[in-house]
A = this chain, B = another copy of it.
Amino acid sequence: MENLKTYIQSNSQTFLDELFGLIRIPSISSESAHRDDMVKTAQYLVDQLLKAGVDKAEIMPTTGHPVVYGEKIVDPAQPTILVYGHYDVMPVDPLNLWHSPPFEPEIREGKIYARGAVDDKGQLFMQLKAFEYLVSTGQLRFNVKWIIEGEEEMGSPALGKWLPDHKELLKADLILVSDTSMIAIDIPSVTVGLRGLAYMEVEVSGPDKDLHSGLYGGAVANPANVLAKMIASLHDENNHITIPGFYDDVLELTIDDRRDMARAPFNLVEYRKKLDIKATLCEKGYTVNECTGTRPTLDVNGIWSGYTGEGSKTVLPAKAYAKISMRLVPHQDPHKIADLFTRYFESITPDYVKVKVTEHHGGFPYVAPTNTAAYRAASKAYETTFGIKPVPTRSGGSIPIISTFEQVLGIKSILMGFGLDTDAAHSPNENYHLECFYKGIETITWFYKYYQDELNEPNS
């Protein structure tokens, strides 16, 4: 491992060139106009996997965007690590807020600015480069399989369906993932919990067409006003969610859990300042970190109705729409929550409008233990490169496929992320620190080494 740093330094420009080639393909999974870009991106990754040293790599069809599979079998008797990543990215609107075009990566102040820079193309590339180093220097002791999908940002619907038929192909001892964040650039952390997700879309219909708000206003219910009222009623004055049964399966924190969480470095004044808000809005009785890491939420992700252009239009809109998602925690079931939401939303519908509720993707929450060889190896790896032990944290985000892997394949994941909350993942001006990118490659390489040590000392 002594030449690891030198290897990264001397190849740093090549790594970036290759990553930028990947970023330049606008692989927005949720927009059907980008269907061809998805296949192009998958093909690019097949080439990169082969270059990095896999025995074979291929594009495999699914019911949605294809997955990329690759493998390097050094010895069937040895343990196997399955690396998971995703090549799709979020939509880029509002485009006018980007300081440089989202699919033309640009380096400014030590950061790569582009859609996918951190989520997840940049982080996936660290995995590729750590693997490339180990193969090229003859130090790879594990079998490594790769599964890279194109629908993570949509909740992995196709991969979820594809998995049961490919259990044998993906057989492994551990899943290794870089798609999460650290507390800060100098405070590494390992994510040991992820929230689940239920994502709904609602349509409130009033009259059969847009009406003149003067001629009908006052007598015909306005779907936009009604939708606002319905959304408002989903939280009570303590910011609890009012859907009956919503909290039934929520795992309440123990005193110990809360004490542990309170130890993670957190500065509320800084948090507010960074976001330019005067106050936070938490569920009553819980701290910020408890709320984002361990409590379920309900957020409007989008709302639209009527005239939204320049100036004014006196229209009483025929329809109003909202996208509403709920982050879930152990042991909430996204399908059950989607049902509860639908039933409740329908039940509060007044008779002067009609309501249609549809369900987008969902995912189960996930919790990982810290008393495993994988966690210990990850902890040592971060400590080697960052100089301090990482903090185990629970992220508010969701990677629904992680819990699906556990349910279908029976394999736990280790989440070694190197992003930062300030990277603007999913937002305009998404970026990724070059320092995190290069340190990530180094840390992942060390993980392979320490994981091997851990497995050789089973009683440690």
* Interface-facing stretch out of A166-174, A253-261, A292-300: A292-300
Residue among A93, A214, A288 facing the most chain B CB atoms (10 A cut-off) = A214
* Nearest Cβ on chain B to A270's Cβ, whole angstroms: 13
Contact status of A32 and B310, CB under 8 A, knowing A207-B275, A395-B214: yes
Closest to A180 in B: B215
Contact status of A398 and B30, CB under 8 A, knowing A312-B360, A321-B308: no
Contact status of A219 and B312, CB under 8 A, knowing A232-B232, A306-B303: no
From B209, B228, B314, B320, give the contact of A424 (CB < 8 A): B209
* Nearest Cβ on chain B to A330's Cβ, whole angstroms: 15
From B232, B280, B353, give the contact of A219 (CB < 8 A): B280
* Nearest Cβ on chain B to A60's Cβ, whole angstroms: 22
B154 and A312: CB pair below 8 A?
yes
* Nearest Cβ on chain B to A166's Cβ, whole angstroms: 25
Residues from chain B with a CB closer than 8 A to the CB of A17 are: none
* Nearest Cβ on chain B to A138's Cβ, whole angstroms: 40
From B201, B217, B228, B235, give the contact of A292 (CB < 8 A): B217
Contact status of A313 and B218, CB under 8 A, knowing A212-B425, A213-B325, A225-B235: no
Per-residue CB contact flags for chain A residues 306-345 toward chain B (1 = under 8 Å, else 0) read: 1111111111110011110101000000000000000000
* Nearest Cβ on chain B to A10's Cβ, whole angstroms: 35
For the complex, what is the distance from the CA of A297 to the CA of B323, rounded to whole Å?
Answer: 27
Interface flag for A67 (CB, 8 Å): no
B396 and A218: CB pair below 8 A?
yes
B312 and A301: CB pair below 8 A?
yes
B300 and A303: CB pair below 8 A?
no
Interface flag for A132 (CB, 8 Å): no
For the complex, what is the distance from the CA of A399 to the CA of B449, rounded to whole Å?
Answer: 78
Closest to A354 in B: B278
Contact status of A397 and B214, CB under 8 A, knowing A97-B209, A219-B291, A227-B228: yes
* Nearest Cβ on chain B to A396's Cβ, whole angstroms: 5
A214 and B396: CB pair below 8 A?
yes
From B277, B323, B396, give the contact of A312 (CB < 8 A): B323
Interface flag for A197 (CB, 8 Å): yes
For the complex, what is the distance from the CA of A304 to the CA of B222, rounded to whole Å?
Answer: 15
Interface flag for A390 (CB, 8 Å): no
Residues from chain B with a CB closer than 8 A to the CB of A277 are: 206-207, 220-221, 352-353
Residues from chain B with a CB closer than 8 A to the CB of A288 are: 219
B231 and A93: CB pair below 8 A?
no
Interface flag for A428 (CB, 8 Å): yes
B427 and A210: CB pair below 8 A?
yes
A interface list, Cβ under 8 A from B? 30-32, 90-91, 93-94, 97, 153-155, 181, 195, 197, 199, 201, 206-222, 224-225, 227-229, 231-233, 235, 275-283, 288, 291-292, 295-317, 320-323, 325, 327, 350-353, 360-361, 395-398, 421, 424-429
11 A-B contacts, Cβ less than 8 Å apart? A32-B310, A197-B314, A209-B424, A209-B427, A213-B327, A214-B395, A215-B395, A217-B297, A221-B281, A300-B317, A308-B321
By Cβ-Cβ distance, the 10 closest A-B pairs, closest first, are A214-B397, A30-B311, A232-B232, A221-B281, A224-B300, A218-B291, A228-B231, A302-B306, A208-B276, A218-B297
